[in-house]
Structure 1
Amino acid sequence: MKQPKSKLANLLSLNQHRKRLGAAKVANQLQQVDWETMSSQIIEGDTSTYTHGSDKNLQSHIDNLRHEFVGRTELEYYHASLIVLIRRDFQTKNNFNIFEQLWYQNHEFLINNLNTRWLISACDTFIDHSDDDYLISLLMNAVIMVNTIKLQESELFLTASEKALPKLERKNSLEAERLALFDGVSGFAVGTDDTLRNMRWRLDKLCNAHVLGGIVLKVFESAQHPDANTVYSRFRALHTREKTAWWKE
């Protein structure tokens, strides 16, 4: 398996050097800002547009990224810009220190306002650069969960023209008998299974032990929101036993 590049390799990489061009200018734009003021400033525009991939020109990438935050706050855009600088390895230690301070001072706002895409980007950033082993282990739960959903939903897109409705006979079979999956793992008993409820109890315990644990719980709730149309939300819609529910209303 290919390993991540070393710091020396990144330093000598022409491609990485190109990606950092203009970083000083971008970093200067992020200095001497008032986080409280930014949290109430809304970015104006007609419609938000997600970026796909990254522009090698840093300033262009940052400018394009701003379109993604139309209708959202300047602080959310600022948070995303910090992550870009860190990923492009520009003054990484200093920018991560700012990123970390931003989170510890504004975690409630960020958890309540960032979408899942940027919550996971924040998790990745902490995992790559934090010295807090407990936090790293905790946030990895959110990353694995969302990446697994991405794989599952993308496979569904590849293999079916539309989301298929569950077959009643198979639903009844899952409730009545064991479905063997792989290496001793069995299927989920649709409607009654307590597996996810028990997982949620354990997750709550882990997350409540750290001030930033709310990131993982927010991602978990977002993944199964009725409007999300993910494997979690679809199984939630089929669940009938109230005492084994794994979501919070």
Structure 2
Amino acid sequence: MTDEELTYPGAPKSLIDTWMRRRRRLSIRPGEGLPPLDVDLKALLATPVAAPEPLELPASLHSNKLHSMRTELAGKSELAVLNAILISHLRKSWFPAVAPHLFLRLWTEEGAALMAELPGRWLISSVITFGDHGATEAQRRIDLSMNVLFSLVKIYEYERIHTGYTADRPFRVWSTSDKKLPLGMPGFALVGGGLDVNLLAPLWREALAEPVAGALACHLLERLNADPGTLFRRVGKMRDAKLAALAAKRAAAAAAILAQEAAETAAPPPPPEPQDLGQSDASQP
């Protein structure tokens, strides 16, 4: 197969090279950097972020990123900014030694406060970061799964925007028996199938058993469940529509049977058969 026939020409090398370039370390100049591991998290949580002054140029990648985050998170707490800059460093191939330990301390001690404060995109970035830097196998396993889930949701919902459909509008239910899915996969059984349940239930069950990264995963799954504009909600509406159509079809069939039985009951009885007169006369003496 030629490169022209591939979605990603030159893969896997081309993909890995691109990924590694994006993981280039954030340069840090003298006097810059992350706070120590024993920084007062309560004080940071109580300190709101002011809109930053214009950035002096040239600036390090660390300073550029920090300025951007202060602009985005103005009005939130300094703890939110610290979480964001930690994530930015931890996504790179090199990061300050304190970064993973400080990230874990943030979420172990102030996870509930961060869940209440952070926008959805930073909650998702946080849970994805546990996938590489979780303290336990359970944390890493749960959050690698969350990375796959939310990455695919983002890609799919971006494509859905270009259909012109609003996020809460389900597609019409068509017959798909003659349609093919990639790699020869069988079709999704809208009524009898449980692909969405099989995807979410094991992940949610594992998350319920993990108190730090799992708590964050549960929080995000609850928000996903409550959001009316997701693939899962639209599939649910499509399932409900098909079930309603099947129920209406069964009810119509049952009503037709009852109507037929009622018509047969109300019909007059057939007239009696006439007697055979010849046979009757022969019986006379």
Task: Calculate the TM-score normalised by the size of structure 2.
Answer: 0.61
Provide, for residues 28-74 of structure 1, a one-character-per-residue CA deviation record: whole Å limited to 9, x for no partner: 5x7764212332333355xxxxxxxxx96321221111111123222
For 1:112 and 1:232, how far apart are their aligned partners in 2? 24
2:95 alignment counterpart? 90
Contact 1:223 1:233 in 2 (8 A): no
For 1:169 and 1:205, how far apart are their aligned partners in 2? 31
Contact 2:50 2:70 in 1 (8 A): no
Contact 1:181 1:187 in 2 (8 A): no
> Which one of 63, 66, 71 corresponds to residue 70 of structure 2?
66
> Which one of 24, 29, 37 corresponds to residue 22 of structure 1?
29
For 1:69 and 1:63, how far apart are their aligned partners in 2? 10
2:203 alignment counterpart? 203
Q: Post-superposition shift, 1:20?
A: 0.9
1:77 aligns with 2:81: yes
Q: Post-superposition shift, 1:188?
A: 4.9
> Which one of 154, 157, 165 corresponds to residue 158 of structure 2?
154
1:49 alignment counterpart? none
Contact 2:133 2:140 in 1 (8 A): no
1:115 aligns with 2:122: no
Which is further off, 73-82 or 112-121? 112-121
* Alpha-carbon distance change, 178 to 207 in structure 1, aligned in 2, over 3 angstroms: farther
1:226 aligns with 2:230: no
Provide, for residues 80-138 of structure 1, a one-character-per-residue CA deviation record: whole Å limited to 9, x for no partner: 122223345332x3221111111111222223332332223223322223452221111
Where does 1:34-45 land on structure 2 (aligned, <5 Å)?
34-44=40-50
Q: Which has the larger radius of gyration?
A: 2
Contact 2:100 2:133 in 1 (8 A): yes
* Alpha-carbon distance change, 235 to 24 in structure 1, aligned in 2, over 3 angstroms: farther
Q: Post-superposition shift, 1:4?
A: 5.6
Instruction: Tell me the secondary structure at the aligned position of residue 104 of structure 2.
Output: helix
User: Kindly, what percent of the aligned residue pairs are identical?
Assistant: 20
Instruction: Tell me the secondary structure at the aligned position of residue 32 of structure 2.
Output: helix
> Which one of 132, 138, 142 corresponds to residue 138 of structure 1?
142
For 1:147 and 1:213, how far apart are their aligned partners in 2? 18
For 1:234 and 1:126, how far apart are their aligned partners in 2? 29
* Alpha-carbon distance change, 112 to 234 in structure 1, aligned in 2, over 3 angstroms: farther
Q: Post-superposition shift, 1:139?
A: 0.6
Instruction: Tell me the secondary structure at the aligned position of residue 20 of structure 1.
Output: coil
Where does 1:157-172 land on structure 2 (aligned, <5 Å)?
157-158=161-162, 160-163=163-166, 165-166=169-170, 168-170=172-174
Instruction: Give unmatched runs, 5+ long, in structure 2.
Output: 1-11, 52-58, 242-285
Task: Calculate the TM-score normalised by the size of structure 1.
Answer: 0.68
Question: Structure 2: which amino acid aligns with 1:114?
Answer: L
For 2:77 and 2:143, how far apart are their aligned partners in 1? 24
For 2:70 and 2:189, how far apart are their aligned partners in 1? 41
Which is further off, 34-43 or 147-156? 34-43
* Alpha-carbon distance change, 161 to 199 in structure 1, aligned in 2, over 3 angstroms: closer
* Alpha-carbon distance change, 22 to 124 in structure 1, aligned in 2, over 3 angstroms: farther
Q: Post-superposition shift, 1:236?
A: 4.5
For 2:72 and 2:172, how far apart are their aligned partners in 1? 41
Number of matched pairs: 215
* Alpha-carbon distance change, 239 to 70 in structure 1, aligned in 2, over 3 angstroms: farther
